[in-house]
Structure 1
Amino acid sequence: MLHKIYNALFCSILKPLIQHYLRKRAQKNPDYLQDWAERFGEPYPNPIQNAIWIHAVSVGETRAAQPLIIELKKYFPDSPLLITQMTPTGRATAQQLYPHAQCRYLPYDNPKWVQQFIREHRPKLGILMETEIWVNLIHACAAENVPLFLANARLSEKSERGYWKIRGLVAPALAKLSGCYAQTIEDAERLEKIGVKNPLICGNTKFDITPSAESTKLANEFRARIGDRRVFLAASTREKDGVDEAQWIVQAWKKIAQSNDLLIIVPRHLERFQAAFDFATQAGLPTQKRSDNQIVQPKTQVWIGDSMGEMFAYYQAADVVFVGGSLVETGCQNVIEPMSCGKPVLFGLSTFNFQAACDWALMAGAAKQLNTAEEVVQTACDWLHHPHLSAPIAQSARDFVAQHHGASAKMAHEIHQIITKIAKDQETS
């Protein structure tokens, strides 16, 4: 009954609501108006087939898939790559990271739309990154004999309570997954409660991400433009309910920082680039943008990182990093990446998106958690001027990431084993 209601909503009501949502998002990011046909099950021109298909909703999931794709290509070197997303920034990231892949939006979960998608592409296998539970998509893959896996799977207590209310809808679909690879034992237990069969604990592929040679080269270019100055990076700052972390950081920086130090702000979303610039200039702080391609002047106190796909370069160019999304209630952005660069890391109290990584990092002495923007900026300035205070944290960060390395290889091995078994069973049947 729940499945019938779900399908009735998608077939009669949800399409205009989704279109309204996309138009609303387009007010801040016009790219949401592009490629609508892909989202609503229209035939796709020249669809690749027999591909390794990765569904990664947005930027974070797309980056998390990178080390897993590297490991999978060792087992399936001749298979093309299909990557689907739900956001324009995720799509742009995929096109940058995987120039030879076919990148497109995944249709919303209308049964006809997802069936069209699966029959067009007929993937060798599919992988849903993080916890993307699209009921009709999973059923369509099972009906078309496409092995489908959930990788980097995580489920918070809050999400578990939500899914439990509709367990009759999600459990039959989850039971059809060919494999589920959870980040932690807690995630595995919660996923099993809502219907996943025999989830394996493999860890988080984000611990396997390392800076590329291109990002290191760009970081050196940034340092050349910045000169010999101490640098504090506020990375992936977020806004919620009209409150922007970038504004809080700017206000605290004006009160606490020394004029020869440099604050770099890189908002999480491109539509917040101009807002961050405006916050700094309205505060009376000399400000430049990365996009002006100019030397950072000695008098400049704030540099806005108004670029996408360059975060590893910003991390490597910084001396201290604050990870955004943690002072406002948005659950924190990726704390692992700056630690993998050996940087001392600060974050706020909202960490539910990276709960395990944050908890483990704090226990390992690899990061510090603070309550307010003023505390963050004060600690950052203390570390900038007394690097011996942060050096042990930076070393612990390197050790912490190294200890959790290897999830991608585990997942790829398990997936290869299952695909091999399926092929043998088909040969003997």
Structure 2
Amino acid sequence: MRLLYTLIYVLLIPLVLLRQCWRARRDRRHIERLAERFGWVSAPAKQKKRLWLHTVSVGEFLGALPLIHQLLQRDDLELCITSTTITGSERVRNTLGDKVLHSYMPYDLPFAISRFVDRLQPDALVIMETELWPNTLAVVGRKRLPSVLINARLSERSARGYGRFAKLSAAMLSHLSAAAIQQQADADRFTQLGLVPAKALVTGNIKFDIRLTDQLREQSQQLANQWNPSGRRQVWLVASTHNSEDEIILDSLSKLREQGIGADKLLLVLVPRHPERFDRVGELIHSRGFSCVRRSAQQAPCAQTDVVLGDTMGELMLLYGASDIVFMGGTLADVGGHNFIEPAVWAKPLLGGPVLYNFAEVSRLLIEAQALKITPDAEAIAAEVKRLFADDSARVHAGQAALQVAEQNRGALARTVAVIERFI
């Protein structure tokens, strides 16, 4: 089965390269550092134990940051962090610089992975969340390196997908040394796919262990003062939207404007998930007749500004702190949602659509605490934003409930570190 998978992948390589070249017409970063995708990396001679940590993109990297900072405190350990996406790679470099080694993750081809491991010489592989590749785990296992899956989650939908290739999934999971899993339901799904039960360790979600620095709090307050200098304007932040969601949000804004909540009273900050959509969303905002400024222009919105387009990367935590109400994208489209924990740590009242399978347990906790309200369409979104806009006590109550959920679920980081330390 793995041989068949590899053959299919090899046959797809020309198509993958053609796609990268096509995308490079607009952004040359798609073909830069292409050698890394085939395992051609250079690494300095080992002076310490070397841990290979894979975080596929920005979200996984940010979720792993508390863990990374803790591991970097060890004098006997150095980290190599790989990522798959351009934005993930840039975030690693901008955040950590030369504190870590960094490379793109090689394609899941035996020769590429084997070359990468031989050159890097890691002592163990740690994979953030559920970025599982059969050849990668097989090569690492063949070279007798431990591999640990951390902050692992497996939705019912994903489990069904893996279940269609039951033998391949079971063989792949057999190479894992351990899996630090968020919830028991996730652990049950992993073991049903073939993970040895003794390797399935329920440790919780390390994203709850995020901490706000004094510097970040100060910066967010400065931004809040810029957005709301009069003290009479509230900020509604819509984070990480996908195709089709921006239209629904702008429909909601139109309804709020029709109900007398003007731009001087409510400012929408709209942040698309992917940078390639920034211009398209900007055009959509203008086509709907709304005035807009771009965050990247560093221009303060005036009292007549309807929308701030969040067209920068890496600022969501800052934007959460400067907002009053947060709607999480990826919950109206078939995406499964994004990280509610970050705005919860800021004690913000939360809204989201009904599509929550990627954060099912976190959503459940927030809903039960009355911190998260499900709003499935433009009318429901507008109604809930209007309610929170008009009721200061309701905003505070929901925000404090969200913060309490975050605080009550901390501790996964220490448990996860303990699992990793068994293998390094």
Shorter-normalised TM-score: what interval? Answer: over 0.9
- Which residue in 1 is equivalent to 2:143? 144
Q: Which stretches in structure 1 are left out of the alignment for 5+ residues?
A: 420-429
CA distance in 2, matches of 1:58, 1:284: 34
TM-score normalised per structure 1 = 0.91
Following superposition, the deviation at residue 401 of structure 1 comes to 0.4
- Which residue in 1 is equivalent to 2:117? 118
- Which residue in 2 is equivalent to 1:426? none
Percent identity, please: 33
Choose which of 42, 45, 64 in structure 2 pairs with 1:45.
42
Deviations 1:260-318 (A, max 9, x none): 11111111111121222222222222211111112221111111111100101100000
The equivalences for 1:248-259 within 5 A come to 248-257=248-257, 258-259=261-262
Q: Which stretches in structure 2 are left out of the alignment for 5+ residues?
A: none
- Which residue in 2 is equivalent to 1:230? 234
Tell whether 2:314 aligns with 1:309: yes
- Which residue in 2 is equivalent to 1:425? none
Deviations 1:166-193 (A, max 9, x none): 2222322322212101111111011112
Following superposition, the deviation at residue 133 of structure 1 comes to 1.4
**Aligned AA (1:224):** N
**Aligned AA (1:53):** W
Following superposition, the deviation at residue 26 of structure 1 comes to 4.8
CA distance in 2, matches of 1:391, 1:28: 45
SS in 2 for 1:251: helix
CA distance in 2, matches of 1:318, 1:404: 24
Deviations 1:8-32 (A, max 9, x none): 2233x02113223434555675532
- Which residue in 1 is equivalent to 2:161? 162
CA distance in 2, matches of 1:324, 1:28: 26
Tell whether 2:335 aligns with 1:333: no
Following superposition, the deviation at residue 164 of structure 1 comes to 2.0
Tell whether 2:206 aligns with 1:205: yes
Deviations 1:27-84 (A, max 9, x none): 675532322111123x21335644222101111111111112233345x333222111
CA distance in 2, matches of 1:345, 1:28: 36
- Which residue in 1 is equivalent to 2:378? 373
SS in 1 for 2:179: strand
Following superposition, the deviation at residue 206 of structure 1 comes to 1.0
CA distance in 2, matches of 1:409, 1:27: 45
**Aligned AA (2:296):** S
Task: Report which stretch shifted further, 303-312 or 381-390.
Answer: 381-390
- Which residue in 2 is equivalent to 1:393? 398
CA distance in 1, matches of 2:419, 2:116: 26
- Which residue in 1 is equivalent to 2:222? 221
- Which residue in 2 is equivalent to 1:127? 126
- Which residue in 1 is equivalent to 2:181? 182
Deviations 1:138-167 (A, max 9, x none): 122122232210001111222222222322
CA distance in 1, matches of 2:383, 2:27: 34
Tell me, yes or no, if the aligned pair for 2:270 and 2:309 is still in contact at 8 Å: yes
- Which residue in 1 is equivalent to 2:16? 18
- Which residue in 1 is equivalent to 2:59? 60
Following superposition, the deviation at residue 217 of structure 1 comes to 3.3
Tell me, yes or no, if the aligned pair for 2:372 and 2:398 is still in contact at 8 Å: yes
Task: Report which stretch shifted further, 205-214 or 176-185.
Answer: 205-214
Following superposition, the deviation at residue 118 of structure 1 comes to 0.8
The equivalences for 1:30-109 within 5 A come to 30-41=28-39, 43-46=40-43, 49=46, 50-74=49-73, 76-99=74-97, 100-109=99-108
CA distance in 2, matches of 1:302, 1:92: 27
CA distance in 2, matches of 1:3, 1:290: 46
SS in 2 for 1:57: coil
Taking a change above 3 Å as real, the CA distance of residues 35 and 286 of structure 1, as seen in their structure-2 partners, is: same
The equivalences for 1:347-366 within 5 A come to 347-366=352-371
Task: Report which stretch shifted further, 45-54 or 58-67.
Answer: 45-54
SS in 2 for 1:80: strand
**Aligned AA (2:319):** Y
